[in-house]
């Protein structure tokens, strides 16, 4: 059995971000981190492999080549993923659709039984790639997973949906997207970091994937900093708060 | 001229309010670009839902009633929606960015060879055409995006739009023969474990009482009396959820629920950017925190620097006294 898992780097949304001079991307000393949800997906792949044995795990990263390679090695291979695939691409001009089409091409080559992917990347925050990919492949999906079990050719997934938890049993091959509560991602052990340097990492160019039209469908035309909310007043005590909520805000 | 197809969402035989917020998005697109909108109701036994939506100005209310549509499953829903969009000649398909909308819409986009904008909070006219405004980078940045395909798909952040008021009139009901079967294969619905609560739905409540990690194992003891007194819902920061003090379903933030109530209490919540992204459109924000330096005070209308364990019970007592 084979699991393909996502390893995307993102510019840290908690760091200070500056908008580029043309107003359509970010610039400056951008700090990168592994996408939080990809960490959950990687951890899930490792746990399934440990539990069931005989599962090959493959991490896919798409982006600027040197940096993305480093994230695949440190974030995925060092933690125990068997090998990596890097597709070099300009992160600014890849939308969710193009990423999903790249995944679909890689999936056709690799023929995984399960694709585990972060539910969203915390830079673009689109929450689309897993679902787009499932439709491109004609596979079933289970998104926003908080529990994943493999049994009898199915993946049984508990999903975090509005109002509660839904459980679906999905026949393999399938796409599952990881939510935060799926697991606690492990730290890479020191030995893993050494081993990761020797693990295979295939590098592909977009042209190798014969995507036909490698254009995005969605384009950012302007970025801005959201209008801030103004700080209000500090109240003296609870009496003051109640009085103002009544008289000024008229919400009590 | 735009032809929009709005996918209705419903529960227990009635439309959800999210549907009316999504209709307001559609109305704004029509105001910019001209055109009109249709509604679509999918499900099993949903005639009443469709009937309830005939007074909102749609050219038609399509009804796709089929036993295989009883649960919102992405594959079959996407097929039926895409089929309907083609039939209606829609060049924009939208649904709220609920967990269902997020699950289903990207698959619709692939079927229609459409680009999709997620979690849209506004419609803006730009030199490059009509753009959709959406939060990015955990709400730290806002992007105006243009979808460059003939057909577009949008998920709408409901809390960013008012509910469309009924316009009167009677849209015709159009029953369509839905064919979800092939797309239903290979997914089996096992069950749903709902959060049992007498409180209103977090996403639609007019008062939200949210607690942070600092409340520790007294999370419920502090938040519940205030929420129940005001008829509000309970929310939580991601930290409080991660540490197990509050259930997953309570999480307010960019990666959790996005809320915009009339009154939001942030109790012992520091105000991380990703939390602010989920609540900063609330009308009135009250912060109670013992540390005056926390970023939550920068967005709060009313800040009280105090120990929540003392201040919140006192607040409950004072409001009760006021109402007595």
pLDDT of B212 higher than 90: yes
CA distance B187 to chain A (A): 5
A88 touches B: beta carbon within 8 Å:
no
Question: pLDDT value at position A159?
Answer: 96
Residue of B nearest to A220 (CA): B145
Task: For residue B248, list chain A residues with Cβ-Cβ distance below 8 A.
Answer: 146, 160, 181
Residue A50 CB partners (closer than 8 Å, separation 6+): none
Question: pLDDT value at position A177?
Answer: 98
CATH architecture of the domain with residue range A2-247: 3-Layer(aba) Sandwich (3.40)
A15 touches B: beta carbon within 8 Å:
no
Mean pLDDT to the nearest integer, A207-234: 91
Give alpha helix (H) positions in B89-165: 99-111
C-alpha distances (whole Å) from A35 to each of A3, A9, A68, A180 are 19, 6, 12, 11
Chain A, residues 168-187, CB within 8 A of chain B, namely: 168-171, 174, 180-181
pLDDT tens digits, residue range A185-209? 999 999 999 999 999 999 999 999 9
Phi, psi of A250, rounded to the nearest 5 degrees: 50, 45
CA distance B4 to chain A (A): 18
Exposure string over B294-316, b if 16+ CB within 10 A, otherwise e: bbbbebbbbbbbbebbebbeebb
Q: Which of B37, B49, B25, B264 is nearest to B162 (CA)?
A: B25
The shortest CB-CB distance from A125 to any of B254, B306, B315 is to B254
Task: For residue A251, list chain B residues with Cβ-Cβ distance below 8 A.
Answer: 207, 262-263, 283-284
Q: Which helix or strand (DSSP H or E) is residue A60 part of?
A: strand A56-63
Within chain B, all domains assigned CATH 3.40.50.620 are found at 2-184
CATH architecture of the domain with residue range B207-323: 3-Layer(aba) Sandwich (3.40)
**ipTM, 2 dp:** 0.94
Alpha carbon distance A16, A30 (integer Å): 8
| Radius of gyration in angstroms for the set of CA atoms belonging to chain A, rounded to a whole number | 21
Alpha carbon distance A230, A212 (integer Å): 49
Q: Which helix or strand (DSSP H or E) is residue A218 part of?
A: strand A218-224
pLDDT tens digits, residue range A45-97? 999 999 999 999 999 999 999 999 999 999 999 999 999 999 999 988 899 99
Asked if A226 and B142 come within 8 Å (Cβ–Cβ), the reply is yes
pLDDT of B91 higher than 80: yes
Question: pLDDT value at position B128?
Answer: 87
Give alpha helix (H) positions in B120-232: 181-184, 219-230
Mean pLDDT to the nearest integer, A144-156: 95
Checking DSSP bridges between strand B10-11 and strand B14-15, what pairing results, if any? antiparallel
pLDDT tens digits, residue range B170-191? 999 999 999 888 777 899 999 9
Which residue, chain included where needed, has tokens 């059995």?
A1
The shortest CB-CB distance from A141 to any of B74, B136, B242 is to B74
Alpha carbon distance B269, A95 (integer Å): 34
| Average pLDDT value for chain A | 94
Residue A221 corresponds to which tokens in the numbers above?
Answer: 């035309």
Task: For residue A96, list chain B residues with Cβ-Cβ distance below 8 A.
Answer: 106, 116, 118
More confident residue, B96 or B322: B96
Q: Is the distance from CB of B60 to CB of A125 less than 8 angstroms?
A: no
Within chain B, all domains assigned CATH 3.40.50.1220 are found at 207-323
Percent of chain A predicted with pLDDT > 90:
83
Which residue, chain included where needed, has tokens 């899930």?
A44
Task: For residue A95, list chain B residues with Cβ-Cβ distance below 8 A.
Answer: 115
For chain A, the domains span 2-247
Helix axes A238-247, B308-323, angle to 10 degrees: 50
C-alpha distances (whole Å) from B115 to each of A219, B100, B110 are 10, 18, 8
- Please check whether the domain covering B2-184 is classified as CATH 3.40.50.620: yes
Question: pLDDT value at position B277?
Answer: 87
pLDDT tens digits, residue range B186-200? 999 999 998 777 888
| Average pLDDT value for chain B | 94
């Amino acid at each position: 059995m084979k699991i393909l898992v996502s390893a995307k780097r993102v510019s840290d949304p908690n760091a200070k971000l500056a908008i580029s001079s043309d107003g359509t991307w970010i610039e400056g000393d951008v700090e990168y981190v592994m996408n939080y949800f990809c960490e959950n997906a990687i951890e899930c792949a490792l746990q399934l492999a440990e539990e069931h044995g005989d599962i090959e795990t493959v991490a896919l990263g798409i982006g600027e080549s040197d940096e993305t390679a480093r994230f695949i090695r440190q974030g995925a291979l060092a933690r125990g993923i068997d090998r990596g695939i890097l597709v070099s691409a300009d992160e600014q001009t890849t939308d969710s659709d193009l990423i999903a089409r790249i995944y679909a091409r890689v999936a056709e080559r690799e023929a995984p039984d399960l694709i585990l992917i972060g539910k969203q990347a915390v830079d673009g925050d689109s929450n689309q790639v897993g679902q787009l990919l499932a439709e491109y492949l004609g596979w079933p999906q289970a998104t926003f997973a908080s529990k994943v079990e493999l049994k009898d050719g199915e993946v049984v997934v508990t999903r975090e949906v509005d109002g509660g938890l839904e459980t679906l049993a999905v026949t393999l091959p399938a796409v599952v997207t990881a939510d935060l509560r799926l697991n606690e991602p492990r730290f890479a052990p020191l030995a893993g970091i050494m081993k990761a340097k020797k693990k295979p990492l295939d590098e592909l160019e977009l042209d190798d994937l014969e995507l036909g039209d490698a254009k995005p469908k969605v384009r950012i035309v302007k970025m801005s900093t959201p209008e801030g909310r103004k700080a209000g007043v500090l109240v003296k005590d609870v009496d003051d708060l109640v009085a103002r909520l009544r008289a000024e805000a008229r919400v009590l | 001229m735009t032809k929009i197809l709005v996918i209705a969402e419903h529960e227990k035989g009635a439309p959800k309010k999210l549907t009316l917020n999504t209709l307001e998005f559609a109305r704004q697109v029509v105001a910019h670009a001209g055109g009109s909108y249709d509604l679509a109701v999918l499900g099993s036994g949903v005639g009443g839902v469709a009937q309830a939506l005939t007074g909102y100005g749609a050219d038609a209310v399509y009804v796709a009633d089929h036993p295989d549509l009883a649960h919102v499953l992405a594959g079959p829903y996407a097929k039926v929606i895409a089929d309907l969009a083609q039939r209606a000649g829609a060049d924009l398909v939208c649904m709220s960015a609920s967990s269902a909308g997020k699950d289903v819409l990207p698959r619709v986009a692939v079927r229609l060879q459409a680009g999709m904008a997620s979690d849209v909070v506004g419609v803006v006219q730009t030199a490059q055409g009509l753009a959709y405004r959406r939060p990015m980078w955990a709400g730290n940045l806002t992007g105006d995006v243009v979808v460059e395909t003939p057909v577009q798909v949008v998920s709408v952040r409901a809390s960013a739009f008012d509910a469309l008021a009924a316009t009167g009139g009677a849209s015709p009901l159009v029953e369509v023969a839905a064919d979800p079967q092939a797309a239903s294969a290979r997914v089996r619905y096992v069950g749903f474990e709902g959060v049992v609560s007498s409180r209103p739905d977090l996403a639609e409540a007019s008062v939200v009482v949210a607690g942070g990690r600092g409340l520790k194992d007294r999370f419920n003891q502090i938040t519940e009396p205030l929420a129940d007194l005001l008829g509000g819902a309970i929310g939580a920061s991601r930290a409080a959820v991660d540490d197990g003090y509050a259930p997953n379903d309570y999480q307010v933030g960019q990666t959790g629920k996005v809320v915009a109530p009339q009154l939001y209490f942030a109790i012992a919540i520091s105000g991380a950017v990703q939390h602010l992204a989920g609540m900063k459109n609330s009308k009135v924000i009250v912060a109670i925190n013992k540390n005056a330096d926390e970023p939550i005070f920068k967005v709060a209308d009313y800040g009280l620097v105090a120990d929540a364990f003392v201040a919140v019970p006192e607040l409950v007592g004072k409001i009760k006294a006021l109402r007595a």
